[in-house]
Amino acid sequence: MFFIGVDLGTSAVKLLLMDENGKIHKIVSKEYPLYFPHPGWSEQKPEDWFEQSMAGLKELTAECDKSQIKGISFGGQMHGLVALDKDDEVIRPAILWNDGRTGKQVEYLNDTIGKEKLSKYTANIAFAGFTAPKILWMKENEPDNFAKITKVMLPKDYLAYKLSGSFCTEYSDASGTLLLDVEHKCWSKEMTEICGITEEQLPKLYESWEPVGCLKPEVAEELGLPAGVKVIAGAGDNAAAAVGTATVGDGGCNISLGTSGTLFISSEKFGVDENNALHSFAHADGNYHLMGCMLSAASCNKWWMDEILKTTDYAGEQSGITGLGENHVYYLPYLMGERSPHNDPDARAAFIGMSMDTSREDMTLAVLEGVAFGLRDSLEVARSIGVNPQRTKICGGGAKSPLWRKIIANVMNMKVDIIESEEGPGYGAAILAAVGCGVYSSVEEAAKKLVKVVKTEEPEEELVQKYEEKYQKFRRFYPVLKGMF
């Protein structure tokens, strides 16, 4: 049997084919454009997602026994606003998770409605990337488009809708809309009223492993797949990545070094920190999780390498780096503002501490360390409420760097487990498809059986101490510079 995992990312859709034993047989990636029509805006065309996903599915399944494909599921970029009209046509380009246009709406939600009420309604406060502020922005700035809305959905759920005809979402992705009562797993009546929409405009809610339907006959025919292929609800990218790294059950931890960076801690119990600095979301395993999200992680290194150093030799740039914990240069990783724990869309990146003897290697190291320190900020919030994981899995493009993994282990003072199949959301989505098709009885059983740790990066006492001193200095920079942003 085969299962397909679809990772709908910001720069590309990545599809993988997995068998029931967790072996990956093929991976296909298809890119699509990202649009920045105004400074701070970030959009994509949902039609591009579907077109490239269909092309990817055809390529992925071209050489396999298609009769053995049983299910397809998704991990997807969260928070994006996809709005359809009565004819199921996309009304406007999707407003993405890293779009910063909603400052006024976030201020209204947090200050006028009030953070206390928002936390009561949804377990979270408003962030620029969340879906609800985007709905309010559309209502205020594009009233004609707003009036056309029949369906509001999230990016991966647009794919599910196009493939199956099911208007659906699931709890992990819905948690990031600021429209879901996370604790009670239902749409918040108060939030729909605040946003001026109805529950009928919102998709039906499922658990991540639940089937939402089968491939539409015309889609199955175009792909050459059996009509009975099940479409499984899937999960937001971070929850799917957590499944793909077996960060399930109680007390698991995963760090993702993708375009954005996340600290993800799974929990059987619902919980919220005092200042809502971490997101409190539902998890794809049926439980809950705390998550700190920084908007620029591996993208900081990509920017530094591609745009500043003008090189694609990432490994080569890191090969000459020595003197961990002794770098005199600091980097604030806020290229696109910051979410956790600062919630400041106006924050910006900065290098601090350069001198005449600062080298290319020092600057590169500062970028890697700055991202690690930013993730440590979220870990400190978790520790403040008694959540203190001792080890973590790691995934994302940045996790392929041995140097970055070592920095993470020592900045966090945690054991960092490297897994065999580091394919994050796509692998987690395929696991959810296997569960949804009945191969495994639960997400936790499947993840713990299929995900294998192959290596562990251990923190070193001396280096931990050096990085502790550096982190305490790092955390003082943002409050000082905040007024200048």
Q: What is the rounded distance in angstroms from the CA atom of residue 252 to the CA atom of residue 411?
A: 19
Residue 61 is predicted with a pLDDT of 97
Q: Is 18 among the annotated ligand-binding positions?
A: no
Q: Which amino acid is at 3?
A: F
Alpha-carbon span 102 to 99, nearest angstrom: 8
State the Cα–Cα distance between residues 349 and 106, nearest whole angstrom.
22
Q: What is the pLDDT of residue 484?
A: 92
What pLDDT, on the 0 to 100 scale, is given for residue 388?
Answer: 87
Q: What is the 3-state secondary structure (H, E, C) of 323-381?
A: CCCCCCCEEECCECEECCCCCECCCCCEEECCCCCCCHHHHHHHHHHHHHHHHHHHHHH
Angle at 315 between CA 310 and CA 317, to 5 degrees: 50
For residue 191, what pLDDT is reported? 98
Question: What pLDDT, in 10s, does the model give residues 442-478?
Answer: 999 999 999 999 999 999 999 999 999 999 999 999 9
pLDDT for the residue 345? 84
Predicted local distance difference test score (pLDDT) of residue 31 = 97
**Residue 424 CA, distance from chain mean position:** 10
Q: What distance in Å separates the CA atoms of residue 34 and residue 10, rounded to the nearest whole number? A: 8
pLDDT, residue 423, reads: 81
Provide the strand spans (E) within 373-452.
391-395, 415-419
From CA 103, how far away is CA 136, in angstroms rounded?
A: 11
Rounded distance, CA 105 to CA 133, Å?
5
Eight-state DSSP code of residue 87: T
Rg (CA), the chain: 21
- Tally DSSP H helices, then E strands, for the chain: 17, 24
pLDDT in tens, 312-355: 999 999 998 999 999 999 999 999 899 899 988 889 999 999 99
pLDDT score of 401: 96
Verify whether residue 357 is a known catalytic residue: no
List the catalytic residue out of 48, 237, 273, 362.
237
pLDDT of residue 422: 74
356 known member of a binding site: no
3-state secondary structure of 227: coil
Structural domains of the chain, ranges and CATH numbers in brackets = 2-238 (3.30.420.40), 249-421+452-485 (3.30.420.40)
Instruction: Using 50 as the pLDDT threshold, list the residues of the chain that sit under it.
Output: none
